[in-house]
Amino acid sequence: MDIAPRIIIDEKVRSGKPVIKGTRVPVELVLGKLAGGMTYEEVMTEYDLTKEDILAALHYAAKHLSDEEVRAVI
């Protein structure tokens, strides 16, 4: 099922985690590699992705976080 442009979920692929469409590459892996210091080009080469795939993962994560509600616990 498409959940965002270029992002899908399928319970038969990576236990239903969001992945880049047409691959088995989880969104969280792309984000983790970028956060760990890999460049777009390195991620693209390592996982056979396009720049648009990476941008879709970033957009999905930003949208997901913008919907998150955070409350301070005192």
The full set of domains in the chain, from first to last, is 2-66 (1.10.10.10)
pLDDT at 69 over 90: no
pTM across the whole model: 0.86
Q: Is 28 exposed, middle or buried (0-12, 13-18, 19+ CB in 10 A)?
A: middle
9: left (phi over 0), alpha (psi -120 to 50) or beta: beta
pLDDT band at 2 (very low <50, low <70, confident <90, very high): confident
Question: Contact at 8 Å (CB) between 31 and 62?
Answer: no
Instruction: Give 4-43 pLDDT, tens digit per residue.
Output: 899 999 999 999 999 999 999 999 999 999 999 999 999 9
